[in-house]
Amino acid sequence: KKKARESCSLPESSWEERLANAVTPLWRLPYQEQLQVKYESQRKILQTLASRLEELGIDAQKPGGLCCPLQPVVPSPIINGYRNKSTFSVNRGPDGNPKTVGLYVGTGRERNIVCVKANHVENIPSKHKQVAQCYQEFICRSPLDSCILFHEGGHWRELVVRTTSCGHTMAIITFHPQELGQEALAAQKALLKEFFTCGPGAVCALTSLYFQESTMTRCSHEQSPYQLLHGAPHIFEKLLGLKFRISPDAFFQVNTAGAEVLYQAVGELCQATGDTVLLDICCGTGTIGLSLAHRVSKVIGVEVVEKAIEDAEWNAAFNGISNCEFHTGKAEAVLPQLLASWEDARPLVAVVNPSRAGLHYRVVRAIRNCRSIRRLLYISCKPEGEAMRNFLELCCPPDPRKKLAGEPFAPMLAIPFDMFPHTVHCELVLLFTR
């Protein structure tokens, strides 16, 4: 652990410093001070929740004006280079090069975006930086332009790099086809493969090289398939003694070592017994449910990304776990059907780990109206955002107009986990019971 930042001698107001300040705003602080900053921000969130609950007529004020006790921030086992996934953009750099591969300083709204190489950013591992540098070298050699604005043409777009502790590296390159025909596209894919297998990019030793033709900002595999140009279709990660298969677009916690600490704590907070059924909502590749499967009688996972569910089912089979079932689809479509006819007498514990958009109202309603769910763990990377709406929906009095018939939950304990050192973010686990 670094006790000071003296070693980081970035030039004042340099582009490198501006990028470090934008992406990792706490990079100058000793790590213990970073944890204290995060603790204070989480404390304010719990104070806000307490105030909002008071407005609903719920007496939620605890010592310090919080809605429930707040434990200290659990530190990350790894502080630098912890990210297992990085997304690099392609745009104009400080020197005007329109084929710069890096991260953004500035915003589209202000029209002052500059793409700066991320070689000095502390949370990105060296392997990701190496792949980004090689991709920049490749597109600088290419006669095709980078695609900065879709309507202005150009082709080369962002790069996603995923790595694992098993030594695997996956690169996913996004390409705007514009008016190119299949023959021209095939030629570009062949050049890309050659560069990363026989050319200068071979130094990256990629496990998987994917290519996606995309005419939108973001495309799912269903909208535009990930095309495997080289290597294995999946990379593999080990977590809590289990082996997990990861597809190009599958969700996996960005800090693997931190995820192990988080999932162990979730297991303890579930207070699961041998007859407990664990409902894993937004389960991704099944990491939470599978890591807790040995503690419970059954795991039911729900996830919208089809490829992630394929991974989850493979992961269960490979690890010899037979008490899990996984459902593909939007949680708001799957869960109400699943819980409406729930008559299982076994205790039901829910773990939800949604994206920043939070849970759909129909998901919250299904949870509220299922009497068997007495304990709920909500894992949020942005509790001050849409998750706050979910917290209020879980805790508000029954409301026939909103079809909220079940008794409300109450927040009992909050534990922040520092999954993102050097940034202002952390993962908050809120325990609700009723």
Which DSSP letter does residue 49 get? H
pLDDT confidence band for 9 (50 / 70 / 90): low
CATH number of 255-433: 3.40.50.150
Question: The tokens 């609903």 sit on which residue?
Answer: 56
User: Annotated binding site, which residues?
Assistant: 253, 303, 353
Measured CA to CA, the distance from residue 258 to residue 379 in angstroms comes to: 14
The pLDDT value recorded for residue 282 is: 92
231 in Cβ contact with 202 (< 8 Å) = no
Give the contacts of 256 (CB within 8 A, at least 6 positions apart).
82, 84, 164, 165, 237, 239
Segment holding 361, helix H or strand E: helix 361-368
| 76-94 pLDDT tens trace | 999 999 999 999 999 999 9
Q: What is the pLDDT of residue 7?
A: 41
Q: What is the pLDDT of residues 322-354, one digit of tens each?
A: 999 999 999 989 998 888 878 888 889 999 999
In whole angstroms, give the CA distance from residue 269 to residue 323.
20
Looking at residue 3, what is its pLDDT?
39
Element (H, E) at 51: helix 31-55
Per-residue pLDDT band for 2 (boundaries 50, 70, 90) equals: very low
DSSP codes, 236-275:
EEEETTEEEEE-TT----S-HHHHHHHHHHHHHHHT--TT
In the chain, CATH 3.40.50.150 covers 255-433
pLDDT tens-digit map of 114-164: 999 999 999 999 999 999 999 999 999 999 999 998 889 999 999 999 999
pLDDT digits (tens, 9 = 90+) for 283-301: 988 999 999 999 999 999 9
Residues of the chain with CATH 2.40.50.1070: 85-238
Looking at the DSSP bridge assignments, the partners of residue 281 are 302, 352
Topology adopted by domain 85-238: OB fold (Dihydrolipoamide Acetyltransferase, E2P) (2.40.50)
Q: How far is the C-alpha of 8 from the C-alpha of 164, rounded, in Å?
A: 27
Catalytic residues: 381
Instruction: Give the SS3 label for residue 317.
Output: helix
Annotated binding site for S-adenosyl-L-methionine: 253, 303, 353
Q: How confident is the model at residue 5 (pLDDT cuts 50, 70, 90)?
A: very low
